[in-house]
Structure 1
Amino acid sequence: MAYWGALIVSPPVWGAIADGIHNQKLAHTMCLVSAAFLFFSIQYVTSFPLMCVMVFIANFQTQPSFSLLDHASMAWLERVAGDYGKQRLYGAAGYGAGGYFASVVASSLARGGKTREGRVTQESKGHSSPARRARSVYDLVAVETISELPFFFHANKIIERFGTAKCILVSLVAYGIRMITYAFIPNPWLVLPIEVLHGLTYGLLLAAFTNYIYEAAPKGTEGTMIGVLFGVQRGIGGGLSTLGGGWVYEVLGGRTMWGIAGFIVFPLSLVASAGFAYLARSYTTQSPAVSKGSVTSDESSLLATSDDYGATVDVSAQC
């Protein structure tokens, strides 16, 4: 609960702080350094209540690092006419490589399947040994990461061509296909071909959300808005789905859980997507003229005089 609470609250709070001090890099660095110190200090805590407090504070400092990094990246890319997706794919590649090699190490350590007393575990004799389970994990990570790269690379062109709403709709349909497939698939290894859709459900969706929120937010509130997006998507959405899905999985089983997601949650998400498209089509935001106080120190070295800076931005054109 401490993790989800921090995930909901901290990104908007630190995003607002970054907007207030006009320095995303400083806020990002403060979060990373303090979080590393707090997590390192947990090992010396002997009281359980104090440990819970430390875990909450450490996560409160850790979770905003992702939204702050997106904010800083978008601010710089706006000045150099760069693409968010092409920069974000390096993070996906690093995550995939790290996850793959970590799973390989876990698989190597799991071989043999012995307990501390030296007894061979029952699972290691059968089909579902720890080594096999670790192997399936790093295969999944590899497929998912590879599928992300082309969608991140071409994300901006796809969004410009089809619009944000259509990209979100396609991503949700891909989610629905994945969830329904999970509910009926007979062999776990058959999941691998379906995981190719992860590029749509994560890569394209993340780029579409981030680009839209950054462009739709009034000047000077981008960090706060990206933090709100992160808190709602990863915090509220992730927390409710984890708690609810975990309960259904425990009581009714995995197939029922994925069936509910595919046949109930998925149609509801399409309704929500249609509502977003309707509202976004008629929404126009007026960006206020830039003042010296609203220009961040991160952007000042790249900020050039522009006649159209601060003009009306019609985000509905992208939908």
Structure 2
Amino acid sequence: MIKHFLSFEKQVSDLEGKIEELRHLSSGADINIAEEIGKLQGAVSEELRSTYSKLTAWQKVQVARHPERPHFEDILNHLMEDYTPLSGDRNFADDNALTGGTAFFRGRSVVVIGIDKGKDTNDRILKNFGMARPEGYRKAIRLMQLADQFSLPILMFVDTAGAYPGKGAEERGQAEAIARCIQKSLQVSVPTISVITGEGGSGGAVALAVANNTLMLEHAIYSVISPEGCSSILWRSSENANHAAEALKLTAQDMQKFNIIDEIIPEPTGGAHRDPHLAIKKIGDAIENRLINLLSLQKDELLKLKEEKYLKIS
């Protein structure tokens, strides 16, 4: 059962609460209430289908930020084999928010890079709530160079509110590190696939979202600024975040319409947080289909594909 319900899921929360009550009742009494539970589960499924088929942009922001959505660590555990993390930027330090290394993805050697917000309080503090510092992006550059040298496909996973905006990060060249990471993504001549799994915020997300193929989960978001940040600039208050979300056109559906992404990966009914394993499988299937096509292309064709893709957007 989901531990955290969103504000617009009250009816679902009430129904699931009744199911739990009936289950507790049945465990202590010699009665069969399976039929009633089945009816309630059907009502939950119908309510979820109805609710999630008409989400507003602001509601999608809330879904994208749900703490129980699949994290990069979950994707590594379920999709990758023999993962070997490679640490440090060979310059300043190691960044726990942005990690990566070599692995096998369904029998193929790959370099995998991802940003992870963390699961519980201690994990989030360790990973700086998914906000990478310059050393994280420089580590990503090093991993991309490694992949290019050994002709390994690059798989990238994005879930971040944005790059860390602290004083130390700015002093160590945050903007320059992000810019060079984007530049390296455009220069590598191996297949590159990026998946925005939750929140794709600002340049911190763009650094790992530039690829031959950029995919998004159905309820993920991708934006130059957070709705709260946009609201604070335009209205001098974060209270208009819902209006800002609509204006920013940040949903996966908007991104596909503007040709910024290549594919939307469907989520389980009620969002990826309701069935993370199924969501991760769908991510894996989408990556595999795209990777098969990209591996059939020559290096110059891969570079041309990226060039045409981003010139078309501009």
Q: TM-score when scaled to structure 1? A: 0.35
Q: TM-score when scaled to structure 2? A: 0.35
| Higher Rg of the two aligned structures | 1
**Bigger helix fraction:** 1
**Bigger strand fraction:** 2
